[in-house]
Chain A
Amino acid sequence: MVYERSDGEEQGGPGEQRSSPAHPPFGKKQLPSIPKNAVPITKAASPASSTESANGTHASYGPFYLEYSLLAEFTLVIKQRLPGIYVQPSYRSTLMWFGVIFIRHGLYQDGVFKFTVYIPDNFPDGDCPRVIFDTPVFHPLVDSVSGELDVRRAFTKWRRNHNHIWQVLMYARTIFYKINTMDPLNPEAVVLYDKDFQLFKSKVVDSVKLCNSHLFDQPKIDDPFAISFSPWNPAVHEEAKDKMFAYKRLHSDPLLTAPHNQRWAEDYNKGPLVSGLSWVKPGSTQPFSKEDIPLQT
């Protein structure tokens, strides 16, 4: 497929690459925190449920477990390098993630769908996360009114250790490439899909157009970390783009472009960090096996 290559180009970048440059980057492992006067979306009632999951031993540490579980999930997402998917936890609550999917081929080609992931506050012991598209996409598995994706059909029971949020994101991407018409949330779409595929297709195209026309709208939820798009402005974007592509050319591993690595690379250039002390030949487990040829006098 023509677009496969660009899939590879796009993949793996952590969320903030698409986000407005004005926003502070969501660095690695940093808890997005709550501004002083903001009301946290986390329900205050949550400790009870999260302590339960922590054997009740240290109730006070419960919130840490939840935060870190979500951060660990986010880390997994980054490691998965899902093609065309970007997510970013909200500034106000780690239980809400903003995301966007780029569809590069198939029926929904060129679709750019913004969505929000809502994670239950008793994660990972509760229900599966919910995925709600900002604009209801015309799709058998997406509710035409609320925009909610039917996640539950893929994750009937959320099982800790087995189910991860990246799988949900992956699922949200897959539905646009492989249409499933069983038990639809949008029966109209299924009927058209089965009976009048051409009409279905044109409806899809309309829906994609509609979604894309709302791309530059203000984010639905007012949050500093919400993903917002703005029209191409060379003064703002050109430099960042060049930087990104220069980096890609230089370094094959997208992790190199990850902020934590860049930060350390900068620190390293500045500072006195010793690093990479190893004289072990790859494949060997003997110390000093990577012997440099001694200079003979």
Chain B
Amino acid sequence: MEVMSWLSRLNPRGPGTRTGRHAAPTSPCTADPETCLMVFENHWRQVSRVLKQRESSVGGYADDLTAVRNHTDQMLCLLAEERPAGGDIDSPVGPILKMVVAENILDELVQWHVRRGLDPDSQLELLKLFEMLIGQSHQPLLLHSAVLQPLLNLLGACVDPQLGSPPALESSLVLLLNQVCVCMAKETAVLELIFRCGLVQQGPTNLLIFSLLVPFIHRDGSLGQQARDALLLVMATSASNHSVARHIAENSYFCPVLATGLSALYSSLPRKIEVRGDDWHALRREDWMAVSSLVLFMNSLEFCNAVVQVAHPLVRCQLLDYLHNGFLVPVMGPALHKSSVDEMIASTAYLDLFLRSITETSLLKTFLRFILLHRHDNDTILDTLLTRISSNSRLCMVSLSLFKTLLSLNCEDLMLQLVLRYLLPCTHVMLSQRRAVRETDLYGKSADKFLSLIPECCRITPAPSSERDDEPAFWGKGKPVSDTFMDNSPTSESPVHPRPSTPSRLALFIRQQSSGGQAIPPSSGSENAPSSPRGSVSSPLSPDSPVHQLPDTSEGETGYLEYLRDARKGIELCSWACRDWSAPYDGENPSPNSAPPPPPPPTSHPSLNMVQEHFSIMDRPQQRGCLESESQRLSPVPALTETSTVPCDSRGPESVERLIEELLERAPSEPLTGDSKCQGISIEAFHQELRELEERVRERRVLSRSSEESSREYRTAPTPSLTDEDCLPVEIEQRSSETKPESYATGVFSPARPLGPPLAQPYTGPFITVLFSKLESMMQNSLYVNILLTGVVFQLACYPQPLLRSFLLNTNMVFQPSVKSLIQVLGSVKNRIEAFAATHEDFPAMLRKARRFLVARGKLDWSDSPIGVPTLRRSDSLIKSRKPSLGDLILRHTNSPTRARHAAQLALAHVRDGGQSLHSALFRGGAAGGASGLEKQAEALRVKNAVYCAVIFSEFLKELAALAQEHSVALPFPPSQGAEE
């Protein structure tokens, strides 16, 4: 069993935790059992003498205590070292244990201590003794209530109901509890026993072990980790025990503490993410490993994920409810709606990181539900996030990255809300064209159309003789056709080629993905699978495939075969992941007539008009100044500085007090009593607060449920507006881009126009609208925005659903006049690029430079610098699969991140600096802003963006063409059997 295997790996205790005193008396135990028993009896005689004495007189002598301690040490060591009696199968209990049970020795000892009055020193001693006993014993001691009961008594005595556990005892206490939980996981019967013992004694808080651990959930460091591991063990052990699960759900504060604790931790996250590098757009593991508050949060989120994975459904449901109503709605919601751009960037990046880190489907569902259905100020979270795509550079990039993550989930509900519901009524196509929705492009017509949009100026031109050497050989050009056919080798199952020799547009971008802070890297062996962030197929190309031996296309004209391969992978991955969707979305099922009319376009979108559309020139100098400031230079990695965090108390954000404070901040109520600084918290007050909070959450849950439902009703209410275009005379408008060149000229530098056509027109939804308008302004977008943007469109175009596929990729479809098609948008970009190239003499040279930079940038990612690759790979391998085993979850923390982090920082700095300096070297002319300063800089930036745009645009068209071709040869996947859960 898996559980057992990792338990064996779970070292019961660190080697350093054992004190010398305990180690000393082990030698006699090597003797035979009878001798040991005699020694034990001898010690016990001495102790009982003291114990009996004590019964008559009150008050104690220090001598007594010392004597009892010494003897107890010896006795417990003997007990711990004892082996179960061999041979005797009926009672494999060793003689010492037999005696301990028969005479109830441990209970008498603990009773004596308790009666005598436990000073902190004795408490610590006893906790350590028990911890040693349980951790080292060769027999399942806890199965005997003669051991378990005194243990519970001791715990009860150590932990003051008012004050919680004294800080000095914390580490010993948690370690002991951890040991108990490990035993529990090995011997499930122990759980039952603890539970029953508790029932007799502690009333409602009968799972004492459990309740004691809960306050440590969000602690940082090893203490918190031990507590979380222990709790996880309880969760796993109790997964099949309904009564224990019930108890956890009903009588413990586990779920509320866990969920609301996330809220507290979230509020201590940096509100502003300061980064170096134009291309930063998502939090990668290397990024957040350096920020302690984020590490703390991620630990807790990861723990939530693990609990959801292993816990009883009862506990899981409760936790998910609390996460939704105690964290997402009250904290994430407002955070995403903060008005400052910095905070928007931070919260969006956090949400993206969270989504990438979650692996459990039901937890993912909770997040998606929140994003899709929860309304904050009348807008769904999704709506809000959508509008951010049209904003200025960094926020746009972070938002695009989030949507990339969302699209990679291949979730029907999401796609329905995002795109499909707008296409379902089929009002975007001419009535006569509806049947064409399902048609596939058999003869490459669409592909041809896309390729024909590659601007003339971007086609390969013979370079001046000096540069000819590194001029790429365009595949097939100048080669006989038979040769190009040979570039296709038979496929095989052989391992993936370590790195593609021809960086495609995706390869240029791989850095962002492969080193992303993803909890879910592509499965091993496919780190270079660019288009499949969540796993990948085995590569269709063998290592010695001629494709990889194509002439080095070092200057950017990349192999079309690579694009075909990527497209195939992307489509297969996507169709596979969508095979259990409820409908094919082919224009017939669901029926266009029964589909509820989608929400109309917003009449005015203040938030859209407000935000800057273009890569701003004005904030560049500021940024640059910021970049060159001394402090920034010192930290080579995108530095997340903890600005404006909530003030911390003396014990830092990790303490339970902080948590409580946070809870109180949000929900005003009686201030906490007791001196939190030195005494720890009052468990009772803590419970009181949580009770109240629980109530509030419950109320809110009811409220939010009902509001979600009403809004859903509202959305289905509007009257259908189908009649309009159904009656329209079928005029097939020539929509080829060449027909309206004048509109591009005016459109080039125009500010953001209101998105979306007027009401009652067919509307393809805000996502398509915002993506298309961003595509239209490609020339002004920064390079990195364009890379991300085209990546998102690529991913969207991988979806096999005919409605979506035909809308994006079927260039023969005739849409309603008011519906803008992708090919139209691309046509306008093409014209702008050509217009630009016509006015710039040195365009070909600039284009070559830009290509060379991009290729070099792509190659940097593959360079195995001795430090770079191993560390990055290591951080990936730590989190290998979507369903990490419980053991992985726990063991992951035992690897100190510090070294990996340092190495990663170094590696990253190397890559980044390399990239940056290369970049500035290429565009030295523009960057050296001389006399006329700003204006010159602005022009340089404009030129730079335009040239990069030309490169990306051409590659993007090839990508789309490849997608169109691959869709025509794709086979559907049948639904998986028994997918219904």
Write the chain A residue with the least CB distance to B532. Answer: A273
Chain B contacts for A75, CB-based, 8 A: 968-971
Chain A contacts for B537, CB-based, 8 A: 263-264, 267
- Is B966's CB under 8 angstroms from A29's CB? yes
- A260-B971 contact in complex given A64-B560, A285-B595, C-beta closer than 8 Å: yes
Q: Give the number of A-B contacts (CB < 8 Å).
A: 235
Q: Which of the candidate stretches B18-26, B52-60, B481-489 sits at the interface with the other chain?
A: B481-489
- Is B442's CB under 8 angstroms from A287's CB? no
Write the chain B residue with the least CB distance to A255. Answer: B974
- A124-B476 contact in complex given A279-B365, A281-B582, C-beta closer than 8 Å: no
A277 to B355, CA, bound (A): 14
Q: Does A54 lie at the interface of the complex (its beta carbon under 8 Å from any beta carbon of B)?
A: yes
A276 to B413, CA, bound (A): 11
- Is B572's CB under 8 angstroms from A264's CB? yes
- Closest Cβ of chain B: how far from A98's Cβ, in Å? 17
- Is B577's CB under 8 angstroms from A42's CB? no
Tell me which of B583, B883, B970 contacts A282 (CB under 8 A): B583
A15 to B480, CA, bound (A): 31
Q: Does B385 lie at the interface of the complex (its beta carbon under 8 Å from any beta carbon of A)?
A: no
A73 to B443, CA, bound (A): 10
A30 to B969, CA, bound (A): 10
Q: Does B17 lie at the interface of the complex (its beta carbon under 8 Å from any beta carbon of A)?
A: no
The contact string, 1 if C-beta is below 8 Å from chain B, for chain A 248-278, is 0011010110101101110110011111111
A105 to B596, CA, bound (A): 50
- Is B410's CB under 8 angstroms from A275's CB? yes
A279 to B582, CA, bound (A): 8
- Is A264's CB under 8 angstroms from B560's CB? no
- Is B411's CB under 8 angstroms from A277's CB? yes
Q: Does A241 lie at the interface of the complex (its beta carbon under 8 Å from any beta carbon of B)?
A: no
- Is B452's CB under 8 angstroms from A27's CB? no
Tell me which of B420, B577, B716 contacts A277 (CB under 8 A): B577
- A264-B576 contact in complex given A34-B486, A68-B965, C-beta closer than 8 Å: yes
Q: How many residues of A contact B (CB 8 A)?
A: 74
Q: Which of the candidate stretches A55-63, A82-90, A212-220 sits at the interface with the other chain?
A: A55-63
A297 to B411, CA, bound (A): 29
- Closest Cβ of chain A: how far from B546's Cβ, in Å? 8
Write the chain A residue with the least CB distance to B537. Answer: A267
Tell me which of A29, A273, A280, A281 contacts B577 (CB under 8 A): A273
- Is B246's CB under 8 angstroms from A271's CB? no
- Is A295's CB under 8 angstroms from B317's CB? yes
Chain A contacts for B365, CB-based, 8 A: 279, 288
Q: Does A184 lie at the interface of the complex (its beta carbon under 8 Å from any beta carbon of B)?
A: no
- A72-B373 contact in complex given A31-B488, A32-B490, C-beta closer than 8 Å: no
Chain B contacts for A285, CB-based, 8 A: 416, 420-421, 424, 590, 595-596
Q: Does A156 lie at the interface of the complex (its beta carbon under 8 Å from any beta carbon of B)?
A: no
- Is A273's CB under 8 angstroms from B581's CB? no
**Interface size band for B:** 35 or more
Q: Which of B481, B491, B972, B981 has the most CB of A within 10 A?
A: B481
Q: Does B451 lie at the interface of the complex (its beta carbon under 8 Å from any beta carbon of A)?
A: yes
A79 to B971, CA, bound (A): 8
A285 to B583, CA, bound (A): 9
Tell me which of A54, A73, A286, A288 contacts B444 (CB under 8 A): A54
Q: Which of A23-49 contact B (CB under 8 A)?
A: 24, 27-34, 36, 40, 42, 44, 46-47
Write the chain B residue with the least CB distance to A46. Answer: B481
Q: Does B867 lie at the interface of the complex (its beta carbon under 8 Å from any beta carbon of A)?
A: no
A58 to B487, CA, bound (A): 19
The contact string, 1 if C-beta is below 8 Å from chain A, for chain B 526-539, is 00000000110110
Tell me which of A69, A91, A273 contacts B534 (CB under 8 A): A273
- Closest Cβ of chain B: how far from A47's Cβ, in Å? 5
- A47-B416 contact in complex given A61-B560, A297-B249, C-beta closer than 8 Å: no
A125 to B254, CA, bound (A): 70
Chain B contacts for A68, CB-based, 8 A: 444, 447, 965, 968-969
- Is A288's CB under 8 angstroms from B372's CB? yes
A24 to B490, CA, bound (A): 9
Q: Which of B470-513 contact A (CB under 8 A)?
A: 474-477, 480-482, 484-492
- Is A60's CB under 8 angstroms from B443's CB? no
- Is A250's CB under 8 angstroms from B576's CB? no
A292 to B362, CA, bound (A): 11
Q: Does A234 lie at the interface of the complex (its beta carbon under 8 Å from any beta carbon of B)?
A: no
- Is B250's CB under 8 angstroms from A276's CB? no
The contact string, 1 if C-beta is below 8 Å from chain A, for chain B 414-441, is 1011001100100000000000000010
Q: Does A20 lie at the interface of the complex (its beta carbon under 8 Å from any beta carbon of B)?
A: no
Q: Does B520 lie at the interface of the complex (its beta carbon under 8 Å from any beta carbon of A)?
A: yes
Chain B contacts for A71, CB-based, 8 A: 968-969
Write the chain B residue with the least CB distance to A94. Answer: B485
Q: Does B118 lie at the interface of the complex (its beta carbon under 8 Å from any beta carbon of A)?
A: no
Q: Which of B881, B973, B977 has the most CB of A within 10 A?
A: B973
- Is A29's CB under 8 angstroms from B969's CB? yes
Chain A contacts for B448, CB-based, 8 A: 54-55, 57-58, 61, 65
- Is A274's CB under 8 angstroms from B410's CB? yes
Q: Does B302 lie at the interface of the complex (its beta carbon under 8 Å from any beta carbon of A)?
A: no
Chain B contacts for A34, CB-based, 8 A: 482, 485-486, 488
- Is B582's CB under 8 angstroms from A250's CB? no
- Is B969's CB under 8 angstroms from A33's CB? no
Tell me which of B480, B489, B538, B581 contacts A44 (CB under 8 A): B480
Tell me which of B373, B971, B979 contacts A288 (CB under 8 A): B373
A75 to B972, CA, bound (A): 10
Tell me which of A42, A69, A78, A271 contacts B482 (CB under 8 A): A42
The contact string, 1 if C-beta is below 8 Å from chain A, for chain B 283-324, is 000000000000000000000000000000110011000000
Q: Does B568 lie at the interface of the complex (its beta carbon under 8 Å from any beta carbon of A)?
A: yes
Write the chain B residue with the least CB distance to A268. Answer: B576
- Is A272's CB under 8 angstroms from B314's CB? no
Write the chain A residue with the least CB distance to B364. Answer: A277
- Is A27's CB under 8 angstroms from B576's CB? no
A44 to B966, CA, bound (A): 25
- Is A60's CB under 8 angstroms from B476's CB? yes
- Is A61's CB under 8 angstroms from B582's CB? no
- Is B413's CB under 8 angstroms from A278's CB? yes
A40 to B483, CA, bound (A): 10
Q: Does A233 lie at the interface of the complex (its beta carbon under 8 Å from any beta carbon of B)?
A: no
Q: Does B361 lie at the interface of the complex (its beta carbon under 8 Å from any beta carbon of A)?
A: yes
Write the chain A residue with the least CB distance to B411. Answer: A277
Chain A contacts for B583, CB-based, 8 A: 280, 282
The contact string, 1 if C-beta is below 8 Å from chain A, for chain B 567-579, is 0100011001111
- Closest Cβ of chain B: how far from A82's Cβ, in Å? 15
Chain B contacts for A198, CB-based, 8 A: none
Write the chain B residue with the least CB distance to A31. Answer: B488
Chain B contacts for A258, CB-based, 8 A: 971
- Is A160's CB under 8 angstroms from B973's CB? no
- Is A261's CB under 8 angstroms from B424's CB? no
A284 to B583, CA, bound (A): 9
- Is A271's CB under 8 angstroms from B535's CB? yes
Q: Does B882 lie at the interface of the complex (its beta carbon under 8 Å from any beta carbon of A)?
A: yes
Q: Which of B361, B414, B523, B582 has the most CB of A within 10 A?
A: B582
- Is A69's CB under 8 angstroms from B580's CB? no
Q: Which of B599-629 contact A (CB under 8 A)?
A: none
Write the chain B residue with the least CB distance to A36. Answer: B486
Q: Does B540 lie at the interface of the complex (its beta carbon under 8 Å from any beta carbon of A)?
A: yes
Tell me which of A280, A281, A297 contacts B246 (CB under 8 A): A297
Q: Which of B51-90 contact A (CB under 8 A)?
A: none
A-B contact pairs, 6 of them (CB 8 A): A33-B485, A64-B560, A72-B440, A264-B576, A275-B577, A287-B417
**What are the 6 tightest A-B residue pairs by CB atom distance, in nearest-first order?**
A276-B580, A65-B444, A287-B413, A272-B882, A33-B488, A278-B412
Q: Which residues of B contact A (CB under 8 A)?
A: 246, 249-250, 313-314, 317-318, 361, 364-365, 369, 372-373, 409-414, 416-417, 420-421, 424, 440, 442-444, 447-448, 451-452, 474-477, 480-482, 484-492, 520, 523, 534-535, 537-538, 540, 560, 564, 568, 572-573, 576-583, 590, 595-596, 712, 716, 880-883, 961, 965-966, 968-974, 976-977, 979, 981
If A253-B974, A274-B361, A287-B417 are given as contacts, then 6 extra A-B residue pairs at C-beta distance below 8 Å, sorted by A number, are: A260-B572, A263-B538, A276-B580, A277-B413, A278-B581, A279-B412
